[in-house]
Each structure stands twice: as structure tokens, then as C-alpha cells.
Amino acid sequence: MSPSALDTRASYLAQTHRKRLYSGIMLVLLVAMLCGGFITADERNAGGFWDGLPHVLDFPAEVLGEAAQKITLLPAHLVAFFPSLVETINIAAAATLAGAIAAVFLALLSTRGLARWPRMIPVFRRMSDIMRAIPEIVIALVLIFILGGGPVPAMIAIAFHTVGALGKLFSEVTENADLKPVEGLGSVGASWMQRMWLGVIPQVSPNFISYALLRFEINIRASAILGFVGAGGIGYDLRNAISWGQGKYDEAAAIFILLFLAIVAVDQLSSLLRNKLVGDTK
Amino acid sequence: MTTATLKAGAVRQVNGKKTLSFALLGAVLAYFVYIFFTFDIASLGQRASLENARTLVADSYSYKTHITKSNRGAGTLTASIEGEKKGRYPEGSYPDWVEIDGTDAFVTLADNSVVELAGKVVYYDVPDYGAIKVTTRNSGIDLELPTAEAPEFISASRNRVAITVPGGRINVTKAKTEIFRYFTGWEMFFFTLDSPFYGKSPAQLAYLASSAPRIDPNTSNLALMWDGFWNNAMWRHSDVAWAIVETILMAFLGTIGAALIALPLAFLSAQNFTRNMVARFSMRRIFDFLRGVDGLIWTIILSRAFGPGPLTGALAILLTDTGTFGKMFSETLENVDDKQIEGIRSTGAKPIQRYRFGVIPQITPVFISQVLYNLESNTRSATIIGAIVGGGIGLLLTQAIITGKDWEEVSYYIVLIVLMVMMMDSLSGWLRSKLIGNKDS
């Protein structure tokens, strides 16, 4: 071996060692942060982790026990709470639909080469960033104060966040869209709306719908949680069932079952549809 | 096949697509109409409380100072910001727009009109209207007006007179007379009234901090200043800072913990690493179960065992995300390239070495980018979960909203939450580009 090759080998090995050392340090740092964080969180928690651990299953056991005692009532509860489940799903669906439609415009307006007003691109991008950053609960709580309880505040809150979240994902898709159809349509005098509707949307709609379905899954969970803080739907019933304690756990069990089934069903359905649309076989 | 049949086919196809897209549009419209009726959006206008909306907006950028005179007993006069105990001026001291002359008090409102409080009588010369005299007696409240009928801005009854003018508000009841004057800004954001630094300009503060003699001989002015700010009773800066830290902590512990747990489990549920059908199948069902039982339900179950606090929130995020990560990682593992593993194997590597050098480098980019993405989105979830389990900024926000009077605090928290999420977003973007290289930036 010539000296130069040896040098190369030595410096390569040194580089690898350094890289590994850095990775090792990073890993140790991460673990240290995890441990420190865990201890801090444990100290600031009302009940300690090790004290609570044996009791994790107490509540599920209590719920299941009570539900088992009143098993005959379960079908009636399932029927009784079904409308609330429908409301929760409706909140998510309407919010996803409205949010997705607005997000399409936001994405097109913030994509280079497609924007109606190219100078406004940074404005629309910032807008989508801010809409994405505001958690649903903030808007929902403020709107509940103004509009009163019910599904509408939750719907608006989720839709608002959806616009930002989907706007970003959609614009990633439109950035990769083929501009030739748009130019072709432009050359025959098509307006901006026509160029987008006929030139861009057909290219990107499978991806758009796939992302919107993914968002729908997320939004159902969000809708259930917002119900819990007072925005109607099955979350609200759940809070009543568990907070009134004594004798209501059979209802809580029914709501758990409904929520679980709904989430799993929507997950399965949407992943089936998405696979069909985007055509990957995962 | 002739051109005619080809054309007919194409036309049919185009028409079919046209019908389909119109049908879709119709379905979306029909759904919105259905939502319009089931959610009863038509009556929303009546249910909405514009009064609430107005206080919310006004309160978020302004505050009011109450001047209260008791109409019973000695008739003491007090001044306090937002009428709160924490914001009360020390006994006998008043803001400079309140003038004391013997037993009388003269209160200047924002439009420079002056309200005179003389014993149990209130004199007020309303601009563009005329002089009003309100007298409180044991039998009730007498109102003397220059016009025969009370104008719109005065609502009067036997027990209560309320006057709302652009410069402020006057409320007279048998018990007390209150005058509200509105100011722009967040009151006492830095220092409360009892702090020696209250009402000082930034230049004065800088002077005090750097060179002035010590106010408290035991500590430096700067430390005193920090103490006054940090332990501000009105805005509770230290509590808010802890709440933000707790929220980020929940997201961090939950996400990273879930990733570390899910990684080894994902090997068990990936087809190309685990030949055992039963192990694979049961692992997958566990992941599905963890994801299907929503974060909300985990939160409820865990908060029964661990009580309110950040740890409960972190564990709830951890459980849900273990399911999400497990599914995602196992899909990534199933798509790894076998050639690299075979290459490593050909050098005589043991299984552990094959995983370490053949598999891990392939999945690291997906792993890191997914974890960072979830870290950012979980910061948002942690805000919501905090509202339920009682920890972090979510709790402070819900408390402030439920009290329904400190809207300036609500807007402060909202601004902090948005900044926190955006910070986590850019942090995760920065880390991603550092760790795996980003083609875009």
C-alpha cells in the first residue's frame, strides 16, 4: 500500500470514530435529558409515578366491573350515545371539508409559479404558519365564550387549524406539479381559476384527498377532545359520565367502546382509500 | 376502430368525468346544507353574545381602574386596578387623575370631563349633554337630569344608576359609587403597585439598575427588579414560565419516550425480521389498540392513577405515540433494502452487527424526521391534554377563560402558546436539517 492510501484510510477511520463519538455523546445527552425531564415531571405531578403505577388499572377495572354488572343495559347505552358520536364525526367531517377547501386556495396562492399574486406568497405562507400554530383548544374555548357551547365552536376551531396544516402539505404537493398544462391553458386565454381548476387540480387531487383523509382521522380525535372541554359531541357525554362518578361508569364504558370503534373504523377506511388513491401498496 | 368511435369514446369519458365532478360538488354542498340544519347555524346569531365578544376584545388590549366610594359608614375612597385586591393602591394614595379636596374627590375621565364625589352626591357635567346630579339616600337613589327623559347612555332604577360615557363608566348603588376609567395596555405587566419600580420609564429603570443607590440595602437593584417582575402577583410570570416548560416537557418526554419504546417493538412486528406469526400479529394489534384508544381516554385513565400534572400528560402522549410510531417504524423496516444487510452479513457480521450497520442507518432519516414532526405536533396536543389533566399552559388558559374576566391574561397566554409552537416548529426543522440534511434549505 502506498503511503497516501494509508493516510486516507487513517483519516477515514478517524472521521468515523469522531462521528461515532458525537453520536454517542448525543445519545447520552438525550438519555440524560429524558431522565432529568422525567424526574422534574414526576416532582411536579400531584401523584408520583411509582405510587401511581400499581393503580393504573384500577379505573379501567372499576369501569369494566360496573359495565359487567349492568351488561344488559349496554346495548341501550350504545344506541343512546350514537347520536353524540355522529355529532363528533360531523364536527370532524365538516371541519375537514371546509378546511381542506380553504387550504387548496391557500396552497395555490402560496406556491411559486401558480400564485395569483406572486408578491403575496410570503404573506400567505406566514398565514398558514400561524393558523397551524394555534391549537384548536384556544379557538374553541374563546368561541365557546362568545357563541355558547355546542358543535359550532369546535367545528370552526378544527377547521381553522386544518387550513394551516393542510395548506402546508398541499403546497408541498403543488410545488411539484407539472406547469405545462397551466402554461398551455394560459396560452389559450384561460383565467386563473380555470388554469388551476383544469390544469393543477386534476394532477394533485389524489394527493390532496389522501392528505385530507389523514387529517380527518386526526380531526376525529380532536373533535372528541374538544367535546370534553365543552364543545358537544361524545366527549361531552364522556365527561358527564365519568365526573358524576357513582353509577355512571356503564355509560362511560359504552362511550369508550363507541369512540374506539369509530376511530379504528375511520383509520381502516381512510388507509384503504388512501392506498387506492395514491397507489402505494404499504 | 374508426376515428368516429374513438371520438365518441373520448366524449363519453369526458362527460362521465364531468358528471362525476359535478356529483361530487353536489354531495359536498348537500353535506354542508345538512350540517347547516343539524348544527342549527341559523340561530347562531341569536345565541351569540356580542356583549361577551366586546368585553373580550376590549379587555385584551385595555384595562380599567376602579375608583370606589362606599356609600355606607365612613365613605372611604379606594382605587384599584381591575377592582382586584392585588391591584389596590395603598391606603390614601390614588392615581394622579384623582384629586382629593377635603372630603370631596374629583375624578377626571379619559375625555377630560370631571366627576365630583361629594359625600353621597355625585355631580357630573356630561359633555354635549348637561349636568347630572345623583344623590344616594337610604330610601333609594335620586337622579336629577337636565332633560325630562333619561338618555340612552343612562340606565336608572330606584336602586341603581349606570352612566356609560366615552371617557368611562359610573355605577351608583346604595352600597357604593364606582367610577371606571379605561386605559390601553396590559396593567402592571412588569411591576405591581407595591414594587418601588412601578410606573418607571425604561430609562429610569436602566439608571436604577446600573448606578443608583440601593433601594433595599441587602440586594442589588437589578436583583430586586428581577424579583419584582418574576414574582408579579398579577401576571405570575414564574408560574407561566413553569407552565410553558411543563408543556414542552410533556411533549418531549412523551415523544422521545414513545420513539425509544417503539423502535425495538417495531422489529417484532416487521415481517422481514420476525418470522413468528403470533408475535408479529399480537404486536400489531397492540399498536392498533394503543392508537385506537385515543389520547383522550388514556389521559382520563392515567389521571385517575397519577393525579393531575405534567407526568400524566407525558405518559398519555407516550402511550398514543408508541402505537403511531410502532406502526410507522415497522412499515419502514419492512421496506429496508436487503442488499445492505447481505453485504454486512458477507463480512461475517453477527445479527446485532447486521442490525446496527445494515438496518439502523437506513431507517435513521425516517425515524428522526417522524420523531421531530411528532414533537412539534405534540407540543400542541400537550396544551390540550394539559387542560384536561391539569398541567402546563393549557390549565392556565382554561382557568383564565373560565374566570371570564382576565381576558388580557388569556391573550397573553395565547400569544405565548403560538410563540411556543412556532419555536418548536423551527427547532424541529433546524434539527432535521442538521441531522439528516434538508434539500430545501
Task: Using alpha carbons, list the distances in angstroms from residue B413 to A222, B67, B188, B244, B309.
Answer: 21, 28, 16, 10, 18
Q: Model confidence over B241-299: pLDDT tens digits? A: 999 999 999 999 999 999 999 988 998 888 877 788 888 889 888 998 898 888 888 88
Q: Model confidence over B130-158: pLDDT tens digits? A: 888 888 888 888 888 888 788 888 888 88
B108 or B205: whose pLDDT is higher?
A: B108
What is the percent of chain B where pLDDT is above 90? 14
**Residue B38, pLDDT above cutoff 70:** yes
Prediction ipTM score:
0.84
Name the amino acid, one letter, at B298: W
Alpha helices in A110-189 (DSSP H): 121-133, 136-147, 151-175, 180-187
Question: Across the interface, do B31 and A97 touch by the CB < 8 Å criterion?
Answer: yes
Chain A residues within 8 A of B47 when measuring between CB atoms: 147-148, 150
Band (pLDDT 50/70/90 cuts) for residue B191 is confident
Count other Cβ atoms within 10 Å, centred on residue A133.
22
- DSSP per-residue string spanning B360-386: HHHHHHHHHHHHHHHHHHHHHHHHHHH
A232 or A158: whose pLDDT is higher?
A: A158
pLDDT of residue A245: 60
Question: Across the interface, do B48 and A146 touch by the CB < 8 Å criterion?
Answer: yes
pLDDT of residue B17: 84
**Residue A281, pLDDT above cutoff 70:** no
Domain residue spans of chain A: 3-56, 60-278
pLDDT of residue B250: 92
Question: Across the interface, do B387 and A55 touch by the CB < 8 Å criterion?
Answer: no
Are B188 and B198 a contacting pair, CB within 8 Å? Answer: yes
Are B432 and B372 a contacting pair, CB within 8 Å? Answer: yes
Indicate which of B37, B304, B336, B371 best probes the interface with A, i.e. most A CBs within 10 Å of its own CB.
Answer: B304
Scan for cell 340612552, then name that residue. Answer: B152
Region B202-208: mean pLDDT is 77
Query: What chain A residue is nearest to B435 in terms of C-alpha separation?
Result: A23
**Residue B438, pLDDT above cutoff 70:** no
Rounded mean pLDDT of chain B? Answer: 83
Question: Across the interface, do A264 and B288 touch by the CB < 8 Å criterion?
Answer: yes
pLDDT of residue B186: 76
pLDDT of residue A101: 94
Chain B residues within 8 A of A52 when measuring between CB atoms: 305-307
pLDDT of residue A282: 40
Rounded Cα–Cα distance for residues B196 and B225 (Å): 9
Rounded Cα–Cα distance for residues A235 and A88 (Å): 8
Rounded Cα–Cα distance for residues B409 and B149 (Å): 40
Class of the A60-278 domain?
mainly alpha
How many distinct helices (H) and strands (E) make up chain B?
14, 12
Region B1-7: mean pLDDT is 84
**Residue A280, pLDDT above cutoff 60:** no
Q: Model confidence over B40-78: pLDDT tens digits? A: 887 887 777 777 787 778 777 878 888 888 887 777 788
Are B396 and B351 a contacting pair, CB within 8 Å? Answer: no
CA B179 to chain centre: 31
